Amino acid sequence: MTSHIRGYLNDLARQLHLDPGEERGILSELESHISDRAQELMETGVASDVALHAAIRDFGASDEIAVRLYEVHSRGTWNHTTLAALPHLLLSLMFALHLWVNPAWVAILVAASVGMAVLGWRKGRARWSYPWLGYCLVVPILSWGLAMTAVGYGAWSVVARSVLPFSIPIYIASLAYVAFSLWFVIKNVSKVVRPDWIMASLAVLPLPFLGYWFFYFYNRGEVLQSDSRVLQEIDSAAAIVFLILGAATAVFFRVGRRMIRVVLLIITAPSLIVLAWLSYQGGAGYFAVFFFSAISLAILLTPALLDFQDSKSPAQTRPGELPTEDLSG
């Protein structure tokens, strides 16, 4: 494969954002078409360099071709759409039936999430597995938040009252766990970001609401002691939130246009926080709602930042990019 075709296809691959195996097949087919077209032109007497440039020009700009290919190949089938929305629907059902208070049901759902995420990852990072993978990150992220809360509370106590509420070994362990869990999450999220950062954003879409919901009960333990009517109202609100997440995920998979997907994610996350705040009577105040809404947007855009940094790294080769030997045959 000539450097002209290689440069064109690598530029297209950087904008394609499809599964690595799928990208390799598409790029190999495009390389074949371009080569055939160039050969046709050379048989008419056109010089080889001129023929290659003409063949590439006839295909069109790489960014336009990448957009068209993404719209066609990224759109999920109904089976994949159902698999992607299923974890949200199961959680909606769990809250609707008030099963989240039973550790056995929670453990079953966590085990199912891990199993489906591993299965999808082994199938070449199947796109339907990303929502399942997102729920696998719930435990390390929430536990990281608790460790940060303990450290922050200790720092506040030292400044305000000149005392430590816990012993020093507890804070050392908390800081160590914060560092480890942060490294674990960043390492795994950076892998999930490839090849498409908005798939990583889809995976972490429910995390802001789960964080809001968790810390709502963490700061208002008396709610758990309330009558069943209060808990049923809270459960109903949570069930609706996860039902909306399932619907948003289904729309995400069935719509091929990338910009619509990005807008859908940006609108959904903070909207769910506001909905939760409106539903939980006596919940967190305006500042907390604004804080969690801002955090939700930051979480959604973090994969984009990781993807940007990865694309700027000269030593990094994206999975979709094909070196010369991959296409030269």
Based on C-alpha coordinates, what's the Rg of the chain? Answer: 24
Please list the rounded mean pLDDT of every run of 10 residues in the chain (329 residues): 77 80 84 87 85 85 86 87 94 88 85 88 82 82 69 73 74 77 69 72 82 67 54 77 92 88 85 71 59 70 58 44 40
Q: What pLDDT sits at residue 318?
A: 45
* Euclidean distance between CA atoms 219 and 225, whole angstroms: 13
pLDDT in tens, 13-67: 877 877 777 888 888 888 888 888 888 888 888 888 888 888 888 888 888 888 8
Residues 207, 265 contacting (CB under 8 angstroms): no
Distance of CA 4 to CAs 42, 50, 55, 156, Å? 16, 11, 10, 61
Alpha-carbon span 286 to 277, nearest angstrom: 9
Q: Are 53 and 46 in contact (CB under 8 A)?
A: no
pLDDT at 266: 84
**Cβ contacts of 243 within 8 Å, gap of 6 or more:** 88, 89, 92
> What pLDDT does 188 receive?
66
What pLDDT, on the 0 to 100 scale, is given for residue 254?
Answer: 92
pTM tops 0.75, yes or no? no
Sign of the C-alpha dihedral computed for residues 42, 47, 52 and 56 taken in this order:
negative
The two tokens of residue 307 are: 């993807």
pLDDT for 326 equals: 40
Nearest to 151 by CA among 162, 163, 137, 166: 166
Question: CA 114, CA 307: separation in Å to the nearest integer?
Answer: 24
- Distance from C-alpha of 134 to C-alpha of 136, rounded to nearest angstrom: 5
